[in-house]
Amino acid sequence: MRIFKSISAQLTLIMLICYLLPATVLGFYMGGTMIRDEQAKTETALLSGMEFSRLLTDQNLSRVVTLARAATYDGELDSAVAQRGAGTVSEAEFLRMVRGYVERKYSRESALTFAAVFTLDQPELLLINRAGYDAASRYQSAAHEGVLRMSAALDTRCRFVELGEALYLVRNLVDLRMEPYGMLVLGLDREKLFAPALDVARRWDARLDVSLDGMDAVNLSGAAGMDEAVDWDGVEPGRIAPVSVGMYACVQRGDSRDYDLRLGLLLDRRRLYGGIDGFRRLQAGLLFLLVPMVGVTMWYVHKRISSPIMLLSEASRRIEAGELGVTVPMHGQDELGSLGKAFTSMSLRLEELIDKTYKEEIALRDARIQAMQSRINPHFINNALETINWEARIEGSETISAMVESLSVLLNASMSRNDRRIVTLKEELEVARAYFYFVGLSYGDRLVTRMDIDDAALSADVPVLTLQPLIENAVEHGIAPEGGGEIRLACTRMGPCLRVEVVNSGKGITPEDRQRIDAALRGDSLGGSHIGLSNICTRLHLIYGGRADIRVEPDQDGNTHVTLDIPQEDAR
């Protein structure tokens, strides 16, 4: 596009790309992978914490149920009742035995506020542990009548009940004939019983709703500002689900056959995903902050780089049009300022020189050029290149030295090699390496070259200038259209034959390419394409007749594969 031919437009485009590309990549990464990962980690931490708290809560509840069952299974209370019924112990001794059992069995359990046993024939007489006296008194005044009424329907199960805003575990005490003779009541400390779930709720500033044995959900955490009603049955266990605007919930259910437990956690989105939302805001702020920074940078580039270059370009066009002595108003202390001063000085000096000596110097230069051209020959060129090479080495310029040596190899190859038409593969490989070197200077890291040469093949005979045209074709028709790739040169001695393979990973063979290649393999070229390949085919036919073979085919990976089989016999 013509608009991007100016350096100002190109610099503007580069600045936009340098902003938009990182910003887009960063935005997609942060808004996609990174935020999703952070969200997944947050949800995993919450759900795993809830699951773990549910397991610990189940353990607490199961331990309490086990303690309640022990009152029937260990037989001590049953024995005491039997002895009282048989008259072997007095009423006072019976009460002492039961109270001692309650004290010994339940005083050490921290999750219990009190433990009480009463017989159905004397329900008003509670036998309790000493530490639970106050809690038992509150129970007797607020919940004892309700527990007593439950006895008939309770059977032998343990049941959690809530009476008077307190939580109890009640159980019938039965004798060997499975006939109830009393009840066991255990007062439960919610804070300690549900401590694992409460820890999770407080860590996430959430509301913890607990439902046990069908009781209405109770907010244990006391979280403020979370009075919304939640349909906990509609929340799938083990998942975090939105229940209203800005509120999320998750549920864990117990797996015990002795009771039904449900732990529900209600969370504010700001607490659950607050870090992620803050991260998004930071991302947006950074991206918007880059906008004025890019604007200032683009202004600076235009003012200090684009405009001076445009001045120099315009001045150059005026000089090219024949206007001598052009000056540019560039006087800064940086490189462009120095360039402007040098350009003005050069322009003025050029005007002076042309005015004074233009015609004389042009005539003298033409004469010298004609004299030099008449004396140039291959020997002189080689001597000149050798002199340049030594000067480059003395100056320490290894790159220039390597370039001169490679150019010398290529010039020697293109000139007559003592009129030889057949050379050794070793000589041809020197030309190939020189050509690879120059091509590598053009493409840099975008081109990878590899040579796999069988040592036994180095002395094989090949027609002069056979490898370099094949490599040049690979570069021109394969690597150049793709902007880079890999070229592999392999030479192998196969009995009475030398096999040369040139493989490039560039542009594949299209149907149009196939037509031109087939024409070149016949020694012809369509429209001047594949001239080198056509020339090689013609020379192979003249030297070897039909005994040499050359093929150009794509391999299974889509690379272009040129295979040349040259018979090894005296063809010199």
- The boundaries of the domain holding residue 491 are 416-567
User: Looking at the domain assignment, is residue 6 inside a domain?
Assistant: no
Give the 3-state secondary structure of residue 284.
helix
Task: With CA atoms as reference, report the closest residue to 462 among 495, 502, 491, 504.
Answer: 491
Tokens at 227, concatenated: 């009075």
Sheet holding 180-188, edge to edge: 122-128, 112-119, 180-188, 166-174, 158-163
Q: Domain ends where: 170, 193, 216?
A: 193
E strand or H helix that includes residue 210: strand 207-212
**What pLDDT shows up at residue 377?**
42
Sequence-ordered alpha helix ranges (H) in 74-114: 76-86, 91-106
Q: Domain ends where: 193, 214, 233?
A: 193
E strand or H helix that includes residue 151: helix 144-154
Give the C-alpha separation, 154 to 175, whole Å.
Answer: 15
Give the C-alpha separation, 240 to 217, whole Å.
Answer: 19
3-state secondary structure 250-269: EEEECCCCCCCEEEEEEEEH
Sequence-ordered alpha helix ranges (H) in 170-266: 190-193, 195-203
User: Looking at the domain assignment, is residue 264 inside a domain?
Assistant: no
Query: What pLDDT tens digit does each residue of the chain (572 aa) get?
Result: 554 556 666 666 776 677 666 766 666 666 667 777 787 888 899 899 999 999 999 999 999 999 999 888 888 888 898 898 888 999 999 999 999 999 999 988 989 999 999 999 889 998 998 888 899 999 999 999 999 998 888 888 889 998 878 899 999 998 878 889 999 999 999 889 999 999 998 888 888 888 888 776 566 666 666 778 888 888 888 889 888 888 899 999 988 888 899 999 998 888 877 767 666 677 677 767 777 777 777 777 777 777 777 777 777 888 777 777 778 777 767 777 777 777 777 877 777 767 655 544 544 344 333 333 333 344 445 554 555 665 566 766 666 666 666 666 656 655 544 557 788 999 999 989 988 988 888 888 999 999 999 999 999 999 888 898 899 989 998 999 999 999 999 999 998 999 999 999 989 888 888 888 888 888 775 555 667 788 888 888 888 888 899 999 998 888 999 999 999 875 45
266 Cβ contact list (under 8 Å, min separation 6): 206, 207, 209, 223, 226, 228, 230, 243, 247, 248, 249
Sheet holding 261-268, edge to edge: 218-219, 207-212, 261-268, 247-253, 241-244
Strand 166-174 to 158-163 pairing? antiparallel
Amino acid at 292: P
Give the 3-state secondary structure of residue 204.
coil
**What pLDDT shows up at residue 447?**
92
Give the C-alpha separation, 69 to 331, whole Å.
Answer: 100
Q: Is the alpha carbon torsion for 365, 366, 370, 371 positive or negative?
A: negative
User: Looking at the domain assignment, is residue 477 inside a domain?
Assistant: yes
User: Looking at the domain assignment, is residue 10 inside a domain?
Assistant: no
CATH number of the domain bearing residue 509? 3.30.565.10
Kindly list the distances between the CA atom of residue 80 and the CA atoms of 95, 115, 320, 325, 451, in Å, as whole numbers in the listed order.
9, 18, 125, 128, 101
Amino acid at 90: S
Amino acid at 98: V
CATH number of the domain bearing residue 131? 3.30.450.20
The residue whose two tokens read 């109770």 is 218
Q: Is the alpha carbon torsion for 20, 21, 26, 27 positive or negative?
A: positive
User: Looking at the domain assignment, is residue 129 inside a domain?
Assistant: yes
Task: With CA atoms as reference, report the closest residue to 135 among 168, 183, 97.
Answer: 168
Give the C-alpha separation, 283 to 80, whole Å.
Answer: 74
Kindly list the distances between the CA atom of residue 245 and the CA atoms of 57, 241, 248, 268, 324, in Å, as whole numbers in the listed order.
30, 11, 8, 9, 77
Give CA 66 to chain center in angstroms.
52
User: Looking at the domain assignment, is residue 202 inside a domain?
Assistant: no
**What pLDDT shows up at residue 493?**
93
Give CA 312 to chain center in angstroms.
46
472 Cβ contact list (under 8 Å, min separation 6): 435, 532
Count of domains forming the chain: 2
Give the C-alpha separation, 464 to 572, whole Å.
Answer: 11
**CB–CB of 396/431 below 8 Å?**
no
Task: With CA atoms as reference, report the closest residue to 482 among 446, 506, 512.
Answer: 506
Tokens at 454, concatenated: 């069988």
**CB–CB of 188/114 below 8 Å?**
no
Give the C-alpha separation, 187 to 195, whole Å.
Answer: 16
Give the 3-state secondary structure of residue 524.
coil
**What pLDDT shows up at residue 355?**
63
The residue whose two tokens read 């008449």 is 374
Strand 485-494 to 447-453 pairing? parallel
**What pLDDT shows up at residue 7?**
63
Give the 3-state secondary structure of residue 560.
strand
Q: Domain ends where: 193, 221, 240?
A: 193
Q: Where are the beta strands (DSSP E) in 107-165?
A: 112-119, 122-128, 158-163
Tokens at 295, concatenated: 């604007």
**CB–CB of 106/99 below 8 Å?**
no
Tokens at 480, concatenated: 């150049």
User: Looking at the domain assignment, is residue 140 inside a domain?
Assistant: yes
Measure CA of the first residue to CA of the last residue in the chain; give whole Å: 55
User: Looking at the domain assignment, is residue 284 inside a domain?
Assistant: no
Angle at Cα 192 formed by Cα 189 and Cα 193, nearest 5°?
75
Count other C-beta atoms under 10 Å from residue 326's C-beta.
Answer: 18
Report DSSP state, residue 131.
G
Q: Is the alpha carbon torsion for 334, 336, 337, 338 positive or negative?
A: positive
Give the C-alpha separation, 466 to 536, whole Å.
Answer: 7
